[in-house]
Amino acid sequence: MTENSPSYANMRVPRYTSYPPATAFGASPDETLYRKWLSELDPAIPVAIYIHVPFCREVCWYCACNMKLVKREKPLADYAATLDHELELLCEALPHGIRIDAIHWGGGTPTSLPDGKLAHLTERTRQLFDVSPLAETAFELDPRTFSLSRASTLAALGVNRVSLGVQEFDAAVQEAVNRIQPFEQVRDVVHSLRDAGICRINFDLMYGLPFQTVATLEETVARTLTLRPDRIALFGYAHVPWAARRQTQINEDALPGLEARFEQAERAAENLMAGGYRRVGLDHFALPEDGLAKALDDRTLMRNFQGYVADTPSTVIGVGSSSISCVPGGYVQNCTETGAWHRAVGSGHLPVQRGHSLSRMDRLRGEVINNLMCFMGADLGQISQMHGFPENVLDREITACRRYEADGLVVVNGRLLRIQERGRPALRLIASCFDAYLDPEKSRHALAV
C-alpha cells in the first residue's frame, strides 16, 4: 500500500460479506414477515440452502465462529432431528416447485454428524425440495477428524466440493492455536477425496497467527501449491476476544504486528499468483479454469457469508442455529443459542431471532460495496440511477474516498471509482466509506488488513 499502510491497517471495519453487516441487525423482521418474504419468492428463480452444524470435536483457539465442543452423540442426534423438522417448516413456507441450485454445509464441522444422519438429511432435502441434479453440494471439513474412508461416503451423498481448514502448516503456529494437523494428514485427506471423485477442493489459509512469520507462511504456501487446490482463501486472523472468549487462550504477545501482518499477506499472495493462481477480490485465489476466476471475468462474482462465490443463487435460505438467510426482502438470522433454536422449531416456528429489512438505500449501498469488493470499482452515478436515486446521491461518500486517492489507492473520475492494485489490501476500508451503519468510534470489527 503506502507509508500510511500501518495506520490504515489499524482501523477496524466489517468484512462486508453482507450489507448491512450482521452487527447492524436488529429485532425486526419477525417470523411473520420472514414467512411473507419466503412466500413471495419467485419459484422460477433458484435459491441456495446453507445448513449450519455448530459442533466440533476439538476447539481451535483462533476460531470466532458460532460453535460448540461435542463429546457425546446425543446432542448430534437431537440436532439432526431438529434440522429435519426445520427443513419441513421451510418446505411449507416456500413456494411449491422452487429449485435448489446449491447446498452448503458449514459450521462448526458438519462431518461431526454421523454418516447415517448426513445421509438422512441429504435424502430429506431431496424429498422436500426440487434439488437440481447439477447442484453444487459443498462441505466444510476438518482434516484432523476426517477419516479417509468417509470420502466415498460424501461422494455417494452427491458432495462435489469441499473446503479444508488448513490455516498454517508450521508446528509451532499450530500448537499456539490448538490445531495440530501435519501436512501429511492434509495431503492424505486431499488424495482420498480426489480418489473418491470429489475434485473441487478449497483451502483456507490464514495470516496474522501467533508465532507466524513470513517464512512459515511462505512454506505453507509452497506445500499448498504441491496439492493444487482449486480455490484458496487467505484470511487475516481477527483477534476479537471480546466476541470469542476462546481467543483468550492465545498469547497476544506472540501475534504479529501490523506491518508483519501486511507483509505476510502480500508475500503469500505473490507466491500464490507466481504458482499459477488468479487473485479474486480481496483474499481469494483460484486456478484459471475454476468457476471463481470465470465469474470474475464475466462479472457474475458475488460475496456472501461464505466469502467469494460463483454460480450461487443470490437468495440463500439458512437452516440450523445461527444461520443467516438472505432473501430479496432482507436478512434473517436464526436463534444463535442452540436451545432456543430447538424450542422454536419444536413448537412449529421458524426460529427467527433478528435480521434487517432492506431499504432502497440499503440495496444501493450494498451493490456499490459488492462491486468494490468483487471488481475493485463502481460507476456510482449509474448504480444510483438504476436504484431510482439521483446520480449525485452518493457524492458525499465519493468525497470521503478522496483521502485514499491522495495515497494512490483509488482513482476518482467524476462518479467513477476505480481501486488501484496497490489499494487492494484496503478494499474493506474503502468500501466502508459507503457504510451508513458504521460508527468508527464504536467499531469492534476485525482489523482492516
Per-residue pLDDT tens over the stretch 51-108 = 999 999 888 999 888 788 888 999 999 999 999 999 999 999 999 999 999 999 999 9
The pairing of beta strand 231-236 with beta strand 284-286:
antiparallel
- Specify the range with the lowest mean pLDDT, choosing from 62-76, 211-225, 313-327, 346-360: 62-76
Q: What is the pLDDT of residues 102-134, one digit of tens each?
A: 999 999 999 999 999 999 999 999 999 999 999
Q: What's the pLDDT score for residue 67?
A: 82
Q: What is the rounded average pLDDT of the residues 6-12?
A: 66
What is the dihedral sign for C-alpha 18, 49, 325, 315? positive
Determine the length of the chain: 449
Whole-number percent of the chain with pLDDT over 90: 88
Question: Do the Cβ atoms of 321 and 78 come closer than 8 Å?
Answer: no
Angle at 392 between CA 390 and CA 398, to 5 degrees: 145
Kindly state whether residue 144 falls inside one of the protein's structural domains.
yes
Buried b (16+ CB within 10 A) or exposed e, 79-111: bbbbbbebbebbeebbeeebebbbbbbbbbbbb
Mean pLDDT of all residues in the chain?
A: 94
Kindly state whether residue 164 falls inside one of the protein's structural domains.
yes
Q: What is the pLDDT of residues 234-248, one digit of tens each?
A: 999 989 888 888 999
Range of the domain at 167: 41-319
Q: What's the pLDDT score for residue 66?
A: 79
Kindly state whether residue 431 falls inside one of the protein's structural domains.
no
Kindly state whether residue 305 falls inside one of the protein's structural domains.
yes
Q: What is the rounded average pLDDT of the residues 334-347?
A: 98
Kindly state whether residue 234 falls inside one of the protein's structural domains.
yes
Q: What is the rounded average pLDDT of the residues 322-343?
A: 97
- 10 Å CB burial of residue 42 (0-12, 13-18, 19+) is exposed
Question: Do the Cβ atoms of 449 and 265 come closer than 8 Å?
Answer: yes
Q: What's the pLDDT score for residue 191?
A: 98
For residue 123, give Cα distances in angstroms to 54, 55, 437. 21, 21, 41
Whether the per-residue pLDDT at 181 is higher than 60: the answer is yes
Tell how far CA 104 is from the center of its chain.
11
The pairing of beta strand 307-309 with beta strand 316-319:
unpaired
Q: What is the pTM of this model?
A: 0.94
Q: What is the rounded average pLDDT of the residues 3-29?
A: 81
Whether the per-residue pLDDT at 288 is higher than 90: the answer is yes
Confidence of residue 442 (pLDDT cuts 50, 70, 90): low
Confidence of residue 12 (pLDDT cuts 50, 70, 90): confident
Q: Is 266 helix (H, G, I), strand (E, B) or coil?
A: helix
CATH of the domain at 209: 3.80.30.20
Neighbours of 74 (CB within 10 A): 8
Kindly state whether residue 423 falls inside one of the protein's structural domains.
no
Kindly state whether residue 300 falls inside one of the protein's structural domains.
yes
Q: Is 156 helix (H, G, I), strand (E, B) or coil?
A: helix
Q: Rg for the chain (alpha carbons), in Å?
A: 21
Label each residue of 100-135 as H, E or C: EEEEEEEECCHHHCCHHHHHHHHHHHHHHCEEEEEE
Q: How many domains does the chain have?
A: 1
Q: Which residues does residue 288 pair with via DSSP β-bridges, in sequence order?
A: none
Nearest to 436 by CA among 358, 331, 323: 358
**Which conformational region is residue 207 in: left (phi greater than 0), alpha (psi within -120 to 50 degrees), or beta?**
beta
Tell how far CA 265 is from the center of its chain.
18
Kindly state whether residue 194 falls inside one of the protein's structural domains.
yes
Cβ within 8 Å of residue 78, ≥6 positions away: 342
Confidence of residue 5 (pLDDT cuts 50, 70, 90): low
Tell how far CA 413 is from the center of its chain.
32
Cβ within 8 Å of residue 126, ≥6 positions away: none
Whether the per-residue pLDDT at 441 is higher than 70: the answer is no
Confidence of residue 367 (pLDDT cuts 50, 70, 90): very high
